[in-house]
Each structure stands twice: as C-alpha cells, then as structure tokens.
Amino acid sequence: MLRKRNKRVLTISSFKIVVLIFVIFAVIIYFFFIHGDYGLYQYWKLRHEKEALQSNINALKAEQAALKKEIELLKNDKQYIEKIARERYKMGREKETVYYVRSDSLKQK
C-alpha cells in the first residue's frame, strides 16, 4: 500500500514568522557590517583618512629632504650663503650700493 506523506505547508502565520526572523537578521547584519565599528562605512572613512595622512607624510618627507639639502648648502657653499644674504636679507658687499625696486611700481595702469 502506498501511503501519502504529510507535506508541510507553510501557513500564513508561520510565513510571517519566517519573514520577521529574516528581517531581524537582515537588520542585525546591516548594522554590524555597514554601520558598526568594523562596517563598510567605517572602513571607507578610515581608508580615506589613511590616504590623506599618507599624502601628508610624503609632502613632509619631501620638505624634509629639501631642508636637509639647504642645510648642507649653508654649511658648505659660500656662494649659496651670499645668494641668500642678498635675496632674503637685502645685504650687499662692502662699498656696494643696493637698490630696491618695489613691485607695485612696475605694474602698468
């Protein structure tokens, strides 16, 4: 004899429970993986902050290299020292007259 198997059919109330459990699980996953401390948004923010800091580090390293080069020039190169004295500090040699030209007087009106 063949017996009929009892098939489980989801009723409306059990279907609502399954959907509710799925929604709760989806919300929990959303908050943990999207908005949590280890979520995608936090990861995105930290990645952009890391890129900004890395570019800042690179700029500071370049500035440091330029300053080290200038230090070496100031220690060893007499012509560079003279150039700096003339340009930055408006100095001249003995018995030399230094003339200043104002930049606003050079503009045409």
Q: What angle do CA 66, 70, 75 make, to 5 degrees?
A: 150
Q: What is the DSSP string of 42-104?
A: HHHHHHHHHHHHHHHHHHHHHHHHHHHHHHHHHHH-HHHHHHHHHHHH----TT-------GG
Decide: pTM greater than 0.85.
Answer: no
The pLDDT assigned to 86 comes to 86
Q: Above 70 in pLDDT, residue 5?
A: no
pLDDT, tens digit (0-9, with 9 covering 90-100), for 34-86: 777 778 888 899 999 999 999 999 999 999 999 999 999 999 999 999 999 88
CB 36 within 8 A of CB 45: no
Q: How confident is the model at residue 9 (pLDDT cuts 50, 70, 90)?
A: low
Of residues 1, 19, 3, the one with CA closest to residue 11: 19
Show me where the domains of the chain are located: 12-92
Mean pLDDT of the chain: 84
